[in-house]
Amino acid sequence: MIFAIVAALLAYKKAKDTGRNGILWAFIAIGVFIGTQLLVSIGIGVFLELGAAFLGWSDNVLTDDYTILITIITFIASFAATWLVLRYLNKIPEDKTFVSPPPPPNF
């Protein structure tokens, strides 16, 4: 959770530095961090339960056997996803050049 707060602060600062909405990008960074942890842990849980159901693995694979390993994997995935968001924020958006409309007609 501490890393999510640090990621939000970094995203806010980088977004403000590049002319983006800092609060929005802070919430995006928190959402990416927490969402990645949830999705990866659900994916690993489904994989392990399918293995227990159809491949004859131990029924208690999700109790204490692999919790530390799952936690480490989800943290690494969350860190990588948040790092990609922060890396995207390092890019300065291009200034779009607009073509002015044609002058009004002369009668």
Q: First vs last Cα of the chain: how many Å apart?
A: 68
Question: Into how many domains does the chain fold?
Answer: 1
Indicate whether 96 belongs to any domain: no
* Burial zone of 79 (CB within 10 Å; 0-12 exposed, 13-18 middle, 19+ buried): middle
Indicate whether 42 belongs to any domain: yes
The residue behind tokens 């802070």 is 26
**CA angle (17, 19, 25) in 5-degree steps:** 80
**Average pLDDT value for residue range 95-103:** 78
pLDDT digits (tens, 9 = 90+) for 29-79: 999 999 999 999 999 888 888 888 888 777 777 676 678 888 899 999 999
Could you tell me the residue range of the domain that residue 14 belongs to? 2-90
pLDDT score at 84:
95
pTM, 2 dp: 0.77
pLDDT greater than 80 at residue 102: yes
Indicate whether 47 belongs to any domain: yes
Indicate whether 10 belongs to any domain: yes
Alpha carbon 85 to its chain's center: 6
Cβ burial 30-59 (10 Å sphere, 16+ → b, else e): bebbeebbeebbeebeeebeeeeeeeeeee
pLDDT band at 93 (very low <50, low <70, confident <90, very high): confident
pLDDT band at 94 (very low <50, low <70, confident <90, very high): confident
pLDDT score at 48:
83
Q: What letter does residue 60 receive in the DSSP assignment?
A: T
